[in-house]
Structure formats: structure tokens, C-alpha cells
Amino acid sequence: MSELRVALVAEGPTDFILIEAALKALLPAPFLATRLQPEPTRPKFGEGWGGVLRWCLDFASGGHAAFEDDPRLPGFDLFVIHLDVDVAEMTYGDLGTEMQSLAESRQLPRLPCHSPCPPATDSATPLRTHILAWAGINRLGSRTVLCLPSKATEAWLVAATVMDADPMLAGLECNSRIGAQLLSLPRTRRIRKTQRQYHELAGDVTKHWDIVRRRCSLAEQFSTDIAAMGASAGGRSAAR
């Protein structure tokens, strides 16, 4: 069996690191992850949720029914599209007046679209519909999965690295300040949002992914979705 090829659209490079770490715990075979967004040599879309939105709108301009059908994206066994669930609390105007006007002219689905948390799934569910609408597709293809951590991927990092009694675990998936709290920890525990430090901690995410799944309902959902298409991705890889 040859190495799996995974395409990842993410809000930022640190999100890519954590999601890749999760995939190492979930995929049954070695894989090569390619970051489609943000792509360092093609910075026009920017980072953050606005970058994911612009990437999806650009994909929609091609008129393809699924990410797997785009000839610009050949040979991938799995597509992962990431969006933090705190996006449900945003507005298109947060990205500027030009995006607000574009959203109105294209009749993009309404933002904000959040619901009280918990449960985190009540805000994640409409975002799934939003991503489809942004990309101009009616449903996900057989090799595409959405990754929607709540409120951010940092929740998965916390879940993988703290003890059961840690106060940060209280309401973890509903904590929109988790990133700031990681920065305010005592120096010996402080986690800065740098690629270097996230790479250092990525192994903990992989090693303790079962704990992350138990502590974060949307990590469990991501795991279930990956498992559901594992046979398809593996079969495609074996055929190459």
C-alpha cells in the first residue's frame, strides 16, 4: 500500500499541525499531508476563517460538484476542511465591507449562526451547511470530511495535555478564551501560538487522542467521520 495523500484546508498553520497530529492517531496507514490553505506561496486568501471562506468561494467558481472533482487537486485520498466553531459568532462584516457586500450579493448563509453552548454541536451543525454553501456544493464527496473544533483547535491541545482536575477542562468546548488562557499560564506551562511550540506538543495530541475524544464531543465527531471514510481512502491508496 502506498502512502495516503491528505489535502488540508485550515484557518492557520498551527491548526494544520494539530489536525495532522489527530490524523496520525486516526488513519490506519502513513500519510503525507498537503496544506492547501493557508498556502505559503499563495497568500492571496489570507489566514483565519476569512482565508477558508475565500478558498471555498474560489473553489465554487469552478463549478465542481465535490472537492474530489477539481482537476487542480488531483490524486488526494482524503480532503479535510477545517473551521473553528467560534466562526458561528462572527459576521461577514468582521472581514471588511467588501466581504459584507459580497456575502449579500451572493446570498451567502447568515452569520452569526451560533446557539447556546453546551452543546457545541448546535453551533457546529449550521457551520457544516455554511461550508457547503461557500464551496457551491450540495453535499460532501466520498473522500471529504469537515473538522470543526469548538471553540478552537486549542481545546484539543488542552484536552491532550492537562490532568483531569485542571480547571481549564470545565466547559472546554464552550470557552472562547482558551487561546488567551494558554498564554496567561505560569511560564513553565505557558503555550504560545507558534509553529515551533505546537510541533513540540503535537506528539501529545497523537498519543492522547483517545482522551481528547472523551473530553471534546467534536473531536469524537471528527474521529467518527474519518473512520467512516477510512475504507474508501485506504482502498484508493492501495489501487495506486
Q: Are strands 78-82 and 144-147 parallel, antiparallel or unpaired?
A: parallel
Instruction: Centre a 10 Å sphere on the Cβ of residue 186 and count the other Cβ atoms it contains.
Output: 6
Three-class SS of residue 209?
A: helix
Share of the chain above pLDDT 90, in %: 87
Instruction: Centre a 10 Å sphere on the Cβ of residue 91 and count the other Cβ atoms it contains.
Output: 12
Contact 56, 146 (CB under 8 A): no
Average pLDDT of every residue of the chain: 93
Contact 126, 88 (CB under 8 A): yes
CA gap 183, 201 in Å, rounded: 15
Chain centre to alpha carbon of residue 70:
20
> Given this model, what pLDDT does residue 40 score?
78
Decide which of 58 and 238 is more confident. 58
Grid cell, residue 78, equals 482524503
User: pTM for the complete prediction?
Assistant: 0.94
pLDDT-based confidence at residue 236 (cuts at 50, 70, 90): low
Shortest CA distance to 166 belongs to which of 185, 148, 179, 150? Answer: 185
Give mean pLDDT, residues 169-195: 94
Residue 95, pLDDT above cutoff 70: yes
> Given this model, what pLDDT does residue 111 score?
98
pLDDT-based confidence at residue 27 (cuts at 50, 70, 90): very high
> Given this model, what pLDDT does residue 31 score?
96
Residue 240, pLDDT above cutoff 60: no
Longest dimension (CA), the chain: 51
pLDDT-based confidence at residue 238 (cuts at 50, 70, 90): very low
Q: What is the pLDDT of residues 99-135, one digit of tens each?
A: 999 999 999 999 999 999 999 999 999 999 999 999 9
* Topology of domain 4-152+216-233, CATH: Rossmann fold (3.40.50)
> Given this model, what pLDDT does residue 230 score?
65
Residue 239, pLDDT above cutoff 90: no
pLDDT-based confidence at residue 2 (cuts at 50, 70, 90): confident
Shortest CA distance to 27 belongs to which of 240, 206, 150? Answer: 206
> Given this model, what pLDDT does residue 24 score?
98
CA gap 135, 140 in Å, rounded: 10
Alpha-carbon torsion angle 218, 128, 226, 210, nearest 10: -10
**Before 38, cis peptide (omega within 30)?**
yes
> Given this model, what pLDDT does residue 129 score?
97
Element (H, E) at 48: helix 48-60
CA gap 223, 27 in Å, rounded: 9
Give mean pLDDT, residues 188-198: 94
CA gap 240, 237 in Å, rounded: 5
Decide which of 91 and 44 is more confident. 91
Residue 231, pLDDT above cutoff 50: no
CA gap 86, 13 in Å, rounded: 18
Decide which of 236 and 36 is more confident. 36
CA gap 52, 180 in Å, rounded: 22
Domain positions in the chain: 4-152+216-233
The string over 141-154, giving b where at least 16 C-beta atoms fall within 10 Å of a residue's C-beta and e elsewhere, is: bebbbbbbbbbbbb
